[in-house]
Amino acid sequence: MPADAARGVTTAVAPDDGADRASHGFPARNDHAPGPPRVRQIDAEVAPTVERHLTELLARRVAQATATHAIFGTDVAERLARFTLGGGRRIRPQFLWWGMRACGLPDDEQIDAALHLCVALELLQTCALVHDDVMDRAPTRRSRPSLHIDCAAQYAAPARPDPHRFGEAAAILIGDLALAWADDEAGALLLPGRRAGRIRETWSRMRMEMVAGQYLDIQGEITQTRSRSQAISAACLKTARYTVERPLQLGAILGGADETTLRALCSAGGGAGLAFQLRDDLDDVFTGPSHRDKPVGGDLRAGKPTYLLALAHSRAEADGDRHALHVLNRCLGRPGFDETDLDDVRHVLERTGARRSVEEKVHRLIAQSMRELDTVPLDPAARVHLRTLMHQSAGAPAPPTEPERGRSTVAVEGAVT
């Protein structure tokens, strides 16, 4: 079960509705039928369904690993399974599912393929998080010791070699295995040729974009770049593409979307995903620890080159604000970064107007995403869910214009890093 703090809240979303569908110009198959029961069942609980499939798959994988070697099964496979099932709000699977549902009611083959890909997305995210924590040397994740810390603790004892080095090595291997299992799932689809090829191509790009986004982050940290364009590129790759746009695209390809619909969904997803990352950057500085999975100011302490900081820097330079520049140069990436530093940076972000500009950008991006969604006919229930998911990921209240006909929970997790 998800355990980490959620930005998402319980929100109202409308169930599928024939009249609404017609009003959006959606080519309905049968406006008055409730749709195949399996689809409706998953619609009502996407995240729990994915979690159930993930649980079943991981049980099989752990058994296979244990049969390979007992120590490997216990130390590596079981730990991987616990981590994957122990948190995360399955946001990428939700985008995938509703991307597919936006195109209508899927058949069993499409549903099976979607669930394979949903499970694959979660395993890929396990790789991303576990390796990210090793790279950042992060002590905690989801209010528990990070996986490499947990591994190190298992064999720590006096007169033994460095347990930290062991913990990091074990976590690298666990991340590798998660990536391998993700690819196994993504490769297990049984789909007709052309669609399978497009899915493979999108899956391949998404993985590469995830790695690229992470790399731009760490390269920005070491070079202490203040480039706004690099910050936006990293945010687009690691969050807009990896977390929102590509999962949506995978779903839409599975659903058989035409090119116009695909473009609109990708564009909406890309904008909302960027808003998601910008909101995450704001939350790192301005949100209390109870609202987040990560310690407040973690990005500042690491010297992560966020757009928010790059903007503050360029504003301060343009204004000749030497005090602000001094604060930014002194505090960012400082190992001993403390509460006073945090307050100083907050003040600079207010004073340069960077905070307000980024908040406005988040709102503009979301508004633009909503307009994109409205340019194409979509399944009405899917449209409502996508609107809600996009708003929530950007930390905005649920969209006000939708009819509230039923209630469903949609929860959103933090960005990849």
Q: Which residues bind a second copy (CB under 8 A)?
A: 64-65, 68-69, 71-72, 75-76, 127, 131, 134-137, 155, 160-161, 163, 165-166, 168-170, 172-173, 175-177, 179-180, 183-184, 186-188, 200, 204-205, 207-209, 211-212, 214-216, 218-219, 221-224, 230, 233, 237, 303, 333
- Least CB distance from residue 172 to a second copy, whole Å? 5
Q: Which is nearer to a second copy, 81 or 384 (CB)?
A: 81
- Least CB distance from residue 121 to a second copy, whole Å? 14
Q: Which is nearer to a second copy, 55 or 68 (CB)?
A: 68
Q: Which is nearer to a second copy, 183 or 374 (CB)?
A: 183
Q: How far is CA 103 from CA 22, 24, 40, in A?
A: 14, 12, 15
| Encoded tokens for 147 | 């996986």
Q: Which is nearer to a second copy, 207 or 294 (CB)?
A: 207
- Least CB distance from residue 146 to a second copy, whole Å? 14
Whether 312 contacts 352, CB under 8 Å: yes
- Least CB distance from residue 72 to a second copy, whole Å? 4
Contacts of 399 (CB under 8 A, 6+ apart): 370, 387, 388, 391
- Least CB distance from residue 173 to a second copy, whole Å? 5
Q: Which is nearer to a second copy, 76 or 365 (CB)?
A: 76
| Encoded tokens for 225 | 């770049």
| Encoded tokens for 356 | 């307000």
Whether 77 contacts 105, CB under 8 Å: no
Whether 379 contacts 35, CB under 8 Å: no
Amino acid at 300: L
Q: Residue 9: in which H helix or E strand, if any?
A: none
Contacts of 79 (CB under 8 A, 6+ apart): 147, 150, 151, 174
User: DSSP letter at 76?
Assistant: I
How many CB atoms are located within 10 Å of the residue 217 CB? 25
User: DSSP letter at 77?
Assistant: I
Q: Which is nearer to a second copy, 98 or 181 (CB)?
A: 181
| Encoded tokens for 390 | 């996009």
Q: Which is nearer to a second copy, 214 or 306 (CB)?
A: 214
